[in-house]
Structure 1
């Protein structure tokens, strides 16, 4: 029996920089209203999906999860920017 390690692949989906982010703007406005001395200049919101997958290596785990995200249209590539990180479990 061949043992395959498990990986957690975090997929972060956020609006592209040129796309308006109302949630981030609301959070920033609330910060400024509550503390007008805040040093925070911009807030961008994002969604993170955490996949746990068995794979031969980190690269395969990441590629498999990103292919799943593309195949099932989990995000809109016209407005979303996707980044990922892989953690060995």
Structure 2
């Protein structure tokens, strides 16, 4: 059975504060070397390796797993799935 890698990127929805991104931006501004950077948004990336019949099934399985285990909060998080 083929092996697929499913990448899950979890980030805050637009308009939701991102304290981690703001902290990184403040550190850059304090250093003074990267004043051209105006905004930073942070995200988490998870990589799943899954053995299944096709890409669609791999993505659906990981989506179901993420939803059942509440890996992200759908009220504040935007999630992107990519299958390789």
TM-score, normalisation: structure 1: 0.88
Larger radius of gyration: 1
Note the residue ranges of structure 1 that are not aligned, 5 or more in a row.
Answer: none
1:16-49 CA distance string (max 9 Å, x none) = 1111000000101111111255321110111111
TM-score, normalisation: structure 2: 0.93
Q: Supply the RMSD in Å over aligned alpha carbons.
A: 1.1
Equivalent residue for 1:23, pick from 15, 20, 28? 20
Q: How many equivalent pairs are there? A: 84
* CA deviation after TM superposition for structure 1 residue 71, in Å: 1.0
Residues 71, 37 of structure 1: alpha-carbon distance in 2 compared, 3 angstrom cutoff = closer
Note the residue ranges of structure 2 that are not aligned, 5 or more in a row.
Answer: none
Secondary structure class of the residue paired with 2:9: strand
